[in-house]
Structure 1
């Protein structure tokens, strides 16, 4: 099935889509360093991106008419700074809001389905009106905004159409906030996903169930000790149940045998096998270079090794720092290297990043975790395949 990837960034969602079996007809991204990341990996024949048609262009000027009409899925993460906690909070007034271009792609390509991802901040009450505007536009992409309409007037017209419409919406659209840690990503990263299916496709779909759980991690650490065994950590650590978990761990002792999900993956899991670049400089691991200067202070602390990491962030005014460093076993803090950050975002180790440390960390901070993208994409692909096998009524 052919797909189109918009606002591709470092390629997390696009790689996940490809891993799920989609073939990219176009990968659109305006940032030069991100496009160079794609090109350099293609020159090295990295399996993840080989053969991708990369277009270094602003999505607002991309001609979707050149791609034909057999696009199965459009996917992408419209720039999220307008809605992020660290951004300017301007939403529809921010010129980095690319949701209108996502809607245009759906309108012009009429794919069987689409997958769009954004920051959890989009679901805040502050943006509730604009959130509903996005939802309605995705349901009825053919009802475009008129020249004399502002977005609120357009939303009102869409609401009237929706409430009076006797037939189906053009697209059946679902949305939900997913935590990447619940799907095997070693990072607590909550993102909102919009997934829509064209009504005439007849697809039946729901968001995939979590595969990993915090309870299973607590059991592996504080009840059966298998987590510490995996990392060859002394038995003494197993007795030090943090006070905030003590009561819950006691409850888990009575039902630990009933847990069926895998445990959350941790920062230590992600960094396993990588040398400490502060002390080992003669390794040949790409993008694994020590960056000095990390320090902790109130409200600016690093990720804990034995939990999923904090959410990696790009930062509007550069890399924030607190979310992009971790606390070592000796209590000191160190910045994640680009390779370590790529592990936290579940990029394959063969995938290398172009640009300075701050630029590559920005690419990674904006990315969709590859593993989460693949889980969602596989579920969409399965529903489309099943729908295509159903006899027409």
Structure 2
């Protein structure tokens, strides 16, 4: 175990866009090692963390004895392997293997994150003080999740779970993100550390306005089973919402959020909506937008008049104000959110229309503008969409650090 006199250290098995490393580094951790199978993600880590040893390889192939010991392991398992995603409980497609049993080029999607068993291998060898990670909330309802917890219990670790939303989370010195992104987060703390220092406080709060008490720090209220805080935010059909912390009041409160307009670069010009869009990589011919998209733009113009607004191309989504957070940027890079800027005549075809830029999406994930992304445009989109939100990683790092020996 690295000496505590030099500060707390971390090992990262999922580099991606580096959201987790950035959050932990900002909280005072020293990253010792990072690994990812994707060459563009590895290049991103090397550009933003000069001098850090970053290994390009599938984590499944790495001998844990060759990885340095650190106080904290930070690693987020692949969501498609262990959790339902749009009703699916397995990877979207079979991975084609070559004669040596290795995935052939073009089947990288199932390898975009390590599996849930790789942190177990590291813990068996190095016994870190804590293991930290995040995933979609459905991960906690997957068939293997409880078995996974039993494995960590057998290794001598106590789990602490929490469900957070990046658009609400109150973090010391950092604003909420203009993206509604529900995540399940955890810290598995080694039992001897838990006995000496207690468990980390992973109870999220938000800035909110109580109709009776005024500005308050809202606390989570679970509709069912608060002992297993796994779910998504929402007052209607979701699992939790926020209430006033004054028990005599206890009123439901709405989080104060940050609008997507805060991160929009209005100097970036879009195309005329009526001209359609380029279909295919050649960018030679334009295709008219579908009627469903046209209806969303028309509805936004009718509601917001000449003001810019967001169009979200997802089922059950339409248009939204720049004063609101956008919906989750997907792991595929979030090609669902478009900025619409009506002209003075409010004509649909004359409306300026464009997707959010990679930098705007990166800001929605909490990345500062000086954080660079390597690789092609599609590789950069994937890194941004797959990243751990920086404010979530920073909050986790601070809460875990508070119970580690100094």
TM range, normalised to the smaller chain?
0.5 to 0.7
Aligned to 2:197: 203
Counterparts of 2:22 and 2:124, CA distance in 1: 24
CA distance in 1, matches of 2:84, 2:24: 24
Instruction: Point out the structure with the larger strand share.
Output: 2
Contact 1:185/1:345, CA 8 A, preserved across alignment? yes
Q: Within 5 A, what are the aligned runs for 1:108-187?
A: 108-124=125-141, 127=142, 129-141=143-155, 170-183=156-169, 184-187=176-179
Say if 1:21 and 1:261 are closer, same or farther in 2 by CA, change over 3 A.
farther
Provide TM-score, normalisation by structure 1.
Answer: 0.66
Q: Determine the C-alpha separation between the residues in 2 that align with 1:329 and 1:109.
A: 57
Matched residue, 2:365: 345
Instruction: Tell me whether 1:265 sits opposite 2:258 in the alignment.
Output: yes
Q: CA deviation at 1:136?
A: 1.4
Partner of 1:212: 206
Counterpart for residue 81 of structure 1: 80
Length-normalised TM-score, structure 2: 0.64
Q: 1:364 aligns with which of 377, 384, 387?
A: 384
Measure, in 2, the Cα distance between the counterparts of 1:89 and 1:326: 33
Deviations 1:23-57 (A, max 9, x none): 11111111111112223x24xxxxxx233211111
Q: CA deviation at 1:311?
A: 0.4
Counterpart contact for 1:300–1:321, Cα < 8 Å: no
Q: 1:326 to 1:263 in 2, by over 3 A?
A: same
Aligned-residue offset at 1:65: 1.6
Compared CA separation, residues 259 and 53, structure 1 to 2 (3 A): farther
Aligned partners of 2:16 and 2:41 also within 8 Å: yes
Residue 327 of structure 2 aligns with which residue? 310
1:191 aligns with 2:205: no
Task: Tell me how many residue pairs correspond in the alignment.
Answer: 298
What CA distance in whole angstroms lies between the structure 1 residues aligned with 2:321 and 2:134? 26
Distance apart, 1:365 and its partner CA: 1.0
What's the offset of the Cα at 1:114? 1.1
Partner-residue secondary structure (3-state), 2:162: strand
Q: Which SS does the other structure have where 1:65 is aligned?
A: helix
Quote how far apart the aligned CAs of 1:81 are.
2.5
Gaps of 5+ in 1: 43-48, 142-169, 225-243, 245-250, 252-257, 281-290, 389-393
Kept after mapping to 2: 8 A contact 1:187/1:345: yes
The 8 Å contact of residues 64 and 121 in structure 2, kept in 1 or not, is answered as: no
SS in 2 for 1:123: helix
Q: Does 1:99 align with 2:119?
A: no
Provide the secondary structure at the position in 1 that maps to 2:117: helix
1:81/1:87 contact within 8 Å kept: no
State the Cα deviation string for residues 163-192 of structure 1 (Å, max 9, x = none).
xxxxxxx00111121111122122110111
Retained in 2: the 8 A contact 1:181–1:189?
Answer: yes
Q: Which deviates more, 110-119 or 332-341?
A: 332-341
Whether the aligned pair in 1 keeps the contact of 2:257 and 2:325 (CA below 8 Å) is: yes
Q: What's the C-alpha RMSD, in Å, of the aligned pairs?
A: 3.7
> Cα deviation per residue 1:256-300 (whole Å; 9 max; x = unaligned)?
xx99998322211233xx3331169xxxxxxxxxx9988556645
Which is further off, 365-374 or 295-304?
295-304
Q: Does the 8 Å CA contact 1:303/1:310 hold for their aligned counterparts?
A: no
Measure, in 2, the Cα distance between the counterparts of 1:213 and 1:350.
28
Distance 1:94 1:111 in 2: 34
Contact 1:305/1:326 (<8 A) preserved: no
How far, CA to CA, are the matches of 2:125 and 2:392 in structure 1?
27
1:77-109 deviations in Å (ceiling 9; x for gaps): 122223253484217x98746001121112221
Displacement of 1:139: 2.1
The CA deviation string for residues 302-360 of structure 1, in whole angstroms up to 9 with x for no partner, is 65411111000023xxx5632x3345576765311000001000101101112333221
